[in-house]
Amino acid sequence: MSISKLFVKVFNEDIFEHLEQDNYNSDLEDDFDGGNCSTVPDTRGPKLNELSVTKQMIIVKNWLEDKFQQIQTDSNEEIRRLYIDTEARIGPELAIFDVDYTTTVRVSSDRLALRSQGSFNTVRANCCVYGGRWMYEIHLHTKGVMQIGWASGTCAFNENSGVGDTKYSYGYDGSKQQVWHISTKKYGDKWQIGDIIGVTIDVDREVIEYYRNGRSMGIAFDKIQRGPGITFFPAISLGYTQGVQANFGNRPFAYPVAGFQPIMARPILKLRRANLLLDYLINLAGIFSHYNAQSSNLKSDSNCEMRVSTKKTVYCIFATMLIERFTNEVFDPYIIEDVLLTRISNMTTLAAEKENPHSVLKGLLSLFWNFMEADEIKFVLRKVVNALLGTFTHTVQGLDYEKHRQALSVLHCICLHEQSRKYLIESKLFKKHCLAFFLYIHPLEFYILADLLPDYMAWTQGIDGPKDKYLNVVEKVRKLTESLYIVQKDFLNTLMNNKDGSPESPSSRKLFLTKMRRYVIDLSMEQRPFHAFFFMQSSIQHPLDAPVALAFVSILIDQVRTLFKEELPSHVMEVNADFFMDGTFDYMHFDRVGGVLSHLRKVHRSDIDAHFGTERTQQIYDEDRNSIRANEVDTTLYLLGENINNMAVIGHAQGANNSTFTHFLNPRVPQNTDAAPGNSSSEASICELMDICILFYYSAGHKYIVKIAAVRDEIATLNEVLMETKYYREDIERKLMALEEHANVCMNENHQHVMSELRSKFSQRQNVFATRSISLARKQVWLRAVALSSHRRALFIWLLERTLRSLTCASLTGPLFSFVPEVYINTLPILLDTVMDFSHHDVRVQFEVSDSECSVNAAAEFLAMHSADTRIVLASCKDSLLQALGTLTCHKSGVRALERASKRAQAALVRALLRPYENRAWGQSNWLLLRFWLGEGYAFKDARQPSVWQGGSQPLNQGLCRSRSRNETHTGLLHNVAPANPSKHFQRLIGSKLYEDEPFATTFLNSVLSQLNWAFSEFILLLQEIQNTAQRQENTLFEPKQLKICSMCFELTVSLMRCLEMILTVAPDIVADESRANSDLLLNRICQLISQVLSRVTVPPGCFQFVVDMCSADLNAVTHFPIISAALGILLALLRNEMNSDVTPQKVTRISRAFLTDPSFQFATLEFALGEIRTPLLEQKEIPRGNFDPSTRPNIDPLTNDVRVPHINNSKRIRADPPIIKFALNDYPTHVSPDEIEDVRRLIENLRIKQSLLSDITLPSEDSLCPICCAKPITAVFTPCKHQSCSDCIMQHMMNSKVCFYCKTTIQTIETLDGTLIYSNLESGQTPVSEST
């Protein structure tokens, strides 16, 4: 058989045409019989036909050797010139990073990528130069502090000095825009993630120059040090967590500079050989693809099949011959990028690859998989993907995303090949966030945005530019990125292929979901307690950048929504609750809302059996036992681990055993990454993808949204400053003009200079804030168009709806609801904040939520119904429910949604909020109650603190503002500042609940008063400690923690007082109705507490006034206004009916008497609120007390035996230092109305009249005072111990305990002094345990 025609098809030459049979017959022997077995007729002469296939193959092999020898000969001259050009280089041929001065830098396996783990690490290359012109490139993975440049071999670096900090080193830092050589100077552009920095040195001209993305930034250094012994190494210093990828010529430069040589020489010979071999392999791939297409479309007879098989055998021999030589060249990254990747990019288009299942590219990839070793083709694919990723993550040049689209299209074409796709999913795309970066759109550079949006077109409310033009720019940017997003989603859809499974291998979708779940679980380690410890166990080397995470989770949500519509159009879009119980989804370290999974499996065995059936239940428990056995690992094995992490660290040898000690210290079930063969169920796979989206959003996806909202809030703050500046500037200019007109005769040059300077200062102030506003407006263009566009907002609304739908359906399973993963509940407040607040780019008092009304209503119904669900045990889930409710109550639409919820849900919410404040986190539920009250209470129209220096009578028009932690993460609801949205509906519900259930109301109010007493007592103790410390020492520095606790106690005190004000307003009969069992007790406690609060924070000046006068930034919340206004609100709520119905009181009512007769009450404490103290203060220790002798009639009240004390004779003024910061309600017109101030005046006058009706103010004798409260007379006796106290104190004590306050004996009865039985516990036979209300 002649292989001449086959040879021509592959090699494009006919070597057999010029050969003479006699020339090679003597050299070739036919060692194989039957070699001439082809049945295809050959037109050649008989001499060629006589040759066997083996001999013809030897001819081909020799011809290939001659070809390679000719390439060697043709390249000698170019190689010689290259050697001359690079003779000023010293070091190994392979240029890599070599020396690490601090041994805390992580390095990639090729020793070209770095990530710092220390404060300031310096690394240099393993080769240097002493003459000529050289360059290398640095691809930035981060944009923080780094110093890049050149350093001599004699330079010594440490954590305080890096490249540029020594005599013979030179560095550039783009984050600070400075160059460093002992001293610094301003230089260059501010670099961004994805930039490629070119670093050049011309030793002969003594010049160093830097390039950013191919554009020169000018000469950085001239007259550099040179001379004998001075060489220059490429070197870089990295700040903490900073990362780069270096290219010393290991790959083609992205931006080569003419005349400069790479540190590592270009592989000329390899390039020529690889190009030649790849030409032949592409021809061969086309032939194989043609045969594959024929075999799939045609049915041939056996003879035809034999002929085809014989030809394919020849082609396979050609392939083996070529691949053997190609593998010698292709492992060089330079060859992969410059030859292989270039050919693949030019070979086809994405559309053509989709249409043709037997394309040349697929044939080439199949050729590689069939004829190369598995490790070899995997290495090549990894390097190809790395090269494409480098192109894709490169900074966008101009307005063109074409290079990014092309790079992703090439990767997509490769992934259309089944075997390559499955390998990349399993072993590449989920490592080092590779897939996440491919699904992220890099933002436009700032100078491009500046061209798109000039200063005059920028718009915010403060600078007031053309809004329509501004929004047109936003739309233009959105359209620029739209085509790239379509390509990204199409690529993701290919990775989710569910039709390529077989009995031997799983489908791409199965592999994708398996790897994606593990990837998200590893990312979520950062969310857990002791996250640094957990994070070391994950496969993630460094956290995913927040913008990338947001883009990744958004496109995943879009994909799952599309899959639901396409594959399950009639299916309800929710996660089936069965997957939570049967172990289908693995949640690793996440608990369930009902507790730990193993415990739930034991407790709910019968429920699971009833739900799934006996057989399926047994299978679930068998799988669970197998998992437990797999987890039984000897923890002592951690001693075998050598490194704390499974990654190379320069300076530390990697041993054969590279297990991490943390894996053995906290073992977990090893995940079986081998998915089951075959395709996956559409329902199960789509539900799992949605489940992963929820996990991903909770773990990492939401973080950037909080930062985006921070940009909006900063713009809002700047708007207020600019409008304020504009107002004052116009006001002063108006006054100056009037002054100039009035005093034109007497104005001299000095006056005109002062006025000109004033105008200049105002203009300067306005320009500073306007410049910052314009900068943020440009940044917001990208945020509005891409990062958090209206499309992404719609995706998050959809995710919220589906999450709530899944939770609602899971709740219908009864006790099995406990199996719901905690993340479903914990993500609700974050999703609600995103939908109702953070996804809006303009600050308003109330946001428009018409597009999310259904999801908000569903959230209101679910949260109200489950606010105190006993199936939810996990503390974090309980807290998340309260946070989510807090988000709803911060918005008018959320409050209205709660009011539209079912009556059953509303009743559940009210009962949950009114539970006693013991043994639970009551601070947040109390805050929720206040959200229904804010806007109705006395001087309680705004949650923000008023300022004495704030001008005008209108509050600032600021919308919702949620505080954030330093890392911009989501925080709790107690830090919300939101506009008032009072709910009359819920106020009525709360009042009705308290009226209809007297024991419930008494228990709740008693707990509120107890917590109020605790919070205020702790607050006063801390104030006294601060005052004593400050008076003992000068320049005292207080512990921030102490000040924070003090401020927190103050805020809790005020919030509890506001809660008390609301209760007394919506349900006044709780204390006003004498027929209620505990009304007297509650009334006396309230009056006592309010009197104590007022006496402590008003007059005489004490520790409270001292701390207020300190003006400490950490105690800026501790002021007179919130606590005094809350106390006045409580008093007005108690006495409102009396003030309105009895204008001229003729008798002392029960409530007035309780307040006026309290030992701590003084009129001066009320007058302090008006800033006009007229009543002298009484010093209690100077007041004489009687001996309670009835025979002593003068000055003794005949009814109460209390000593009458005339005011004038026994009063004594208390002298104190005058306060620095004085208080009066009139100073806060933004928060207190004139009518409210008038109410205080009426309150004081009303109480004065009622005081005059009393037969003088009486104080009990010390011998008759209750030993518990030391305020009221003894009225009750306990049996059998015969101890005594006032009835109020002992009855309050009996609400919590049944033993004597003094001797702890079980109390059997309590009687008044006249023998009336008020309590009996005779059936009790032993001392009861203290009970909690």
User: Secondary structure of 939-1008 in the HEC alphabet?
Assistant: CCCCCCCCCCCCCCCCCCCCCCEECCCCCCCCCCHHHEECCCCCCHHHHHHHHHHHHHCHHHHHHHHHHH
Helix-then-strand count for the chain, H and E: 47, 25
Instruction: Decide: 845 and 889 in contact? Cβ < 8 Å.
Output: no
For residues 795 and 557, the answer to whether their CB atoms sit within 8 Å is: yes
Contact in structure between 879 and 834 (CB atoms under 8 Å): no
Q: Minimal CA–CA distance to 651: which of 1098, 1, 121, 1245? A: 121
- Say if residues 1054 and 1122 touch (Cβ distance below 8 Å): yes
DSSP single-letter state for residue 1217: P
Quote the CA–CA distance of 444 and 398 in Å, as a whole number.
Answer: 8
Q: What is the pLDDT of residue 289?
A: 87
Instruction: Give the residue among 932, 927, 868, 867 at the shortest CA–CA distance from 896.
Output: 932
pTM: 0.83
Helical (H) or strand (E) element with 126? none
**Are 579 and 687 within 8 A, CB to CB?**
yes
Instruction: Please provide the DSSP assignment of 442-492 as one string.
Output: PPPPHHHHHHHS-GGG---TTT---HHHHHHHHHHHHHHHHHHHHHHHHHH
Token pair of 941, please? 């129209």
CA distance linking residue 478 with residue 460, whole number of Å:
19
Q: How far apart are the first and last CA of the chain?
A: 101
- CB of 1067 closer than 8 Å to CB of 914: no
Identity of the amino acid at 420? S
Cβ neighbors of 885 (< 8 A, separation 6 or more) are 863, 864, 867, 909, 928, 973
CA pair distance 1266, 1276, nearest whole angstrom: 9
Residues 6+ apart with CB under 8 A from 749: none
Q: Of the candidates 433, 434, 319, which has an alpha carbon nearest to the alpha carbon of residue 381?
A: 434
Rounded to 5°, the CA angle 520-523-527 comes to 115
Kind plus residue range of the DSSP H or E element containing 58:
helix 53-85
Residues constituting the chain: 1333
The whole-number pLDDT of residue 847 equals: 73
428 neighbors 382 (Cβ within 8 angstroms)? yes
pLDDT at 119: 86
Q: How far is CA 1068 from the centre of its chain?
A: 45
Averaged in consecutive runs of 10 residues, what is the pLDDT profile of the chain (1333 residues)?
77 69 43 40 52 80 88 90 89 85 77 88 92 94 93 87 90 93 89 93 94 93 88 93 92 93 92 92 89 69 49 86 91 92 90 90 93 93 94 86 93 95 94 93 90 90 87 94 95 94 92 94 68 43 85 96 92 90 88 91 91 87 64 39 36 35 35 71 94 94 90 87 82 76 62 74 82 91 94 96 95 94 94 91 76 94 94 92 91 93 95 86 87 92 66 44 43 57 94 92 92 93 90 78 92 94 93 86 91 89 88 88 94 89 75 86 90 71 38 39 41 52 86 92 89 62 73 83 85 82 87 83 47 35
Burial 151-179 (b: 16+ CB within 10 A, else e): bbeebebeeebbbbbbebbbbbbbbbebb
Return the pLDDT at 588: 86
Peptide bond into 1100 cis (omega under 30): yes
Q: What is d(CA 1200, CA 463) in angstroms, rounded to the nearest whole number?
A: 72
User: Which sign, positive or negative, has the C-alpha torsion 416, 419, 422, 428?
Assistant: negative
**Neighbour count for residue 199 (Cβ, 10 Å):** 27
pLDDT at 790: 94
The DSSP line for 493-535 is HHHT--S---SSSB-HHHHHHHHHHHHHHHHHGGGSTTHHHHH
| Helix, coil or strand: residue 342 | helix
Helix or strand holding residue 211 (H, E): strand 207-212
| Segment 12-18 long-range contacts (CB within 8 Å, at least 24 positions apart) | 12/279, 12/283, 15/59, 15/60, 15/63, 16/44, 16/48, 16/56, 16/59
Cβ neighbours around 859 below 10 Å, total: 30
Q: If you ran DSSP here, which 8-state letter would residue 394 be given?
A: S
**Cβ(669)–Cβ(653) below 8 Å:** no
Closest CA to 145 of 163, 130, 132, 167: 163
Amino acid at 41: P
The residues facing 196 across adjacent strands are 139
CB 699 within 8 A of CB 522: no
> Which sign does the torsion angle of CA 450, 456, 459, 463 carry?
positive
